[in-house]
Amino acid sequence: MIIGVLKEEADTRVALTPDVVKKLTEHNQILIEAGAGGNTYIPDAEYEAAGATISQRNDVISKSTLLLSIRPPAEDILSKLPQGASVISSFRPYEDATVPEKLSKFPINVFSMDMMPRITMAQDKDVLSSMASMAGYRAVLEAATHLPRYFPMLTTAAGSIPPAKVLILGAGVAGLQAIATAKRLGSVVEAFDTRAAVREEVQSLGAKFVEVEGSRDDKAAGGYAVEQTEEYKQKQRELIFDRASKSDVIITTALLRGKKAPILITKEMVEAMKPGSVIVDLAAAGGGNCELTQNDATIDHHGITIIGDSTLEAKMPMHASLLFAKNVFNFLKVLLKEGELQLDMENQLIRGTCIVQGGKNMYEVK
């Protein structure tokens, strides 16, 4: 394979790091666009030392038989790839079902890393988890820097400071990392999730699990949350209202795959919070868990800071790139054999992620 990586046009991250390049050079040629690692502080020389060839953008596009990208490459890039080339990125087809249709205009294979099945053997290939974990960590740091008070309890000569109260809504990968980080910073943490199965995980991190009885769990949803009944949602609203008004920080991470994010924090709840409090909404791109969230913006509503950002991991491009590259490398160990593409559709990792095969839309048949 000729594996190509371009400088991302709308992201700080880069799809391959030198340590992974080294592992791929035995059977593949690696082309890296000059300056691709710029935002990640990886100089071209480091890629070269790892065995890659630094190339001009047009050369990478016209020669790559496998293009790796953090963000989906633009159509004019896809149209210039060699016939039969493959592309690996995160296309989020569950958010827009027309995506695979548009991609199938091109005679290529497309693998969407965010379609990786959530099974044990796929954990080391799961970019959603790698990025969510980083976002959860960073959300707490963002909250701490915007909060006009301390996180930890402190006893000073001038008097005692009580710990900040942090409420985490959604205790999946991002939420659990947010809990761990908020605990490390010394705050008092409570968390809520519709999946009662996460109770022990929340408690083992030292946080309190806030529970609403009567939730629906759906084993067929592959580990993802499902929509709840109206009665449950009403009980949940009352409980969150009570907890939110007592919190200094709320971090929301609740997502429903393929659907708009559930509104968990209403305008009324925001206005009941203490002035100076901070909300970090990691579901901003999916419509937000807070009614007032604006995607990719930080706003002030009656003294409450609301940060709407779903790609906080991009603020830590070094480790985000490293983890993405390692996840892709682990997938390539399945997809390539001695540098040749093995399109084994019986393999559930390949079948799960392949949304276009040779210009044929494979997503609709799932």
Positions annotated as catalytic residues are 118, 123, 126, 129, 224
Q: What is the DSSP letter of 211?
A: -
Rounded to a whole number of angstroms, the minimum distance from the CB of residue 133 to ligand NAD is: 9
One residue of 17, 64, 89, 129 binding ligand NAD per CB under 6 A: 129
Using rule CB under 6 A, residue 363 touches ligand NAD:
no
Map residues 247-276 to x or -, x wherever contact with ligand NAD holds by CB under 6 A: ------xxxxx----x-x------------
Q: Closest Cα partner for 249 from 292, 209, 278?
A: 278
One residue of 13, 138, 146, 195 binding ligand NAD per CB under 6 A: 195
- Secondary-structure breakdown of the chain: helix, strand, coil percentages, each rounded to the nearest 5: 40, 20, 40
Count the residues of the shown chain that bind ligand NAD, applying the rule CB under 6 A. 31
Tokens of 240: 């969150």
- Please list, residue by residue across 39-78, b when 16 or more beta carbons sit within 10 angstroms of its beta carbon and e when fewer do: bbebebebbeebbbebbeeeebbebbbbbbbbbbbeeebb
Residues 6+ apart with CB under 8 A from 98: none
Using rule CB under 6 A, residue 209 touches ligand NAD:
no
Rounded to a whole number of angstroms, the minimum distance from the CB of residue 343 to ligand NAD is: 22
Rounded to a whole number of angstroms, the minimum distance from the CB of residue 267 to ligand NAD is: 18
One residue of 223, 258, 276, 303 binding ligand NAD per CB under 6 A: 223
Rounded to a whole number of angstroms, the minimum distance from the CB of residue 137 to ligand NAD is: 13
Q: Which residues pair with 33 in a beta bridge?
A: 55
| 3 state DSSP class of 54 | strand
Q: Which of residues 131-160 bind ligand NAD (CB under 6 A)?
A: 132
Tokens of 261: 């994010």
Using rule CB under 6 A, residue 293 touches ligand NAD:
no
Using rule CB under 6 A, residue 120 touches ligand NAD:
yes
